[in-house]
Amino acid sequence: MAILNIVKDGDELLRKKSRPVEAITPRIEALIGDMIETMRKANGVGLAAVQVGILRRLVVIETEEGNPRCFINPVISERKGSDEGVEGCLSVPGVWGKVERPSEITITYMDEKGVTHTTVETELAARCLCHECDHLDGILFKDKATEFFSREDLEEE
């Protein structure tokens, strides 16, 4: 497995819409492993393929330590509730912002074996998946943030 370079804000790639994954190939399987390693190395909880330069509808999250999850061609079909929280992004280093997200989502996706699932996700997983799915459509958290913070601001709180 390899640690991949994370695309940073200002790169026009982050503003493009990602294309669906057509098939689970050895290349996609390797990408999933590399994305998980890259996310962990960067101390992130989520990573979209576009953030490592691949315009495919693929995200990985690890909201529970030791339990990385892969979402291929994810579609959020239902959003419930509302929760405002502070988010950061590996592609926007040093900046955090308050973002309102649903507290519960229903999401349909394929896993790394090609099996389709529909699950209800809540709390951090819901926030993380909304954030990562936004990446797949060229949207950054800062587009939705109502207030911004630096590392120093967060350490003072």
CATH of the domain at 39: 3.90.45.10
| pLDDT per residue as tens digits for the range 4-36 | 999 999 999 999 999 999 999 999 999 999 999
User: Does 108 fall in a domain?
Assistant: yes
CA distance 69 to 71: 7
Task: For residue 116, tell me if it sits in a domain.
Answer: yes
Tell me if 6 is assigned to some domain: no
Q: How many domains does the chain have?
A: 1
What is residue 139's three-state secondary structure? coil
**Structure confidence by residue, pLDDT tens digits, 53-75:** 999 999 999 999 999 999 999 99
Whether 4 and 35 have beta carbons less than 8 Å apart is answered as: yes
* pLDDT score of 112 more than 80: yes
Q: Is 149 inside a domain boundary?
A: yes
Q: Which residues form the domain of 140?
A: 12-156
Q: Does the residue 5 lie in any domain? A: no
Percentage of the chain surpassing pLDDT 70?
97
**Is residue 132 among the annotated active site residues?**
yes
Round to whole Å and give the CA distance between 50 and 39. 13
pTM equals 0.94
Contact predicate 83/127, CB 8 Å: yes
Q: Which residues contact 117 (CB under 8 A, 6 or more apart)?
A: 108, 109, 110, 111
- Write down the catalytic residue from 62, 132, 152, 155: 132
Q: Give the helix/strand (H/E) hosting 72.
A: strand 69-80
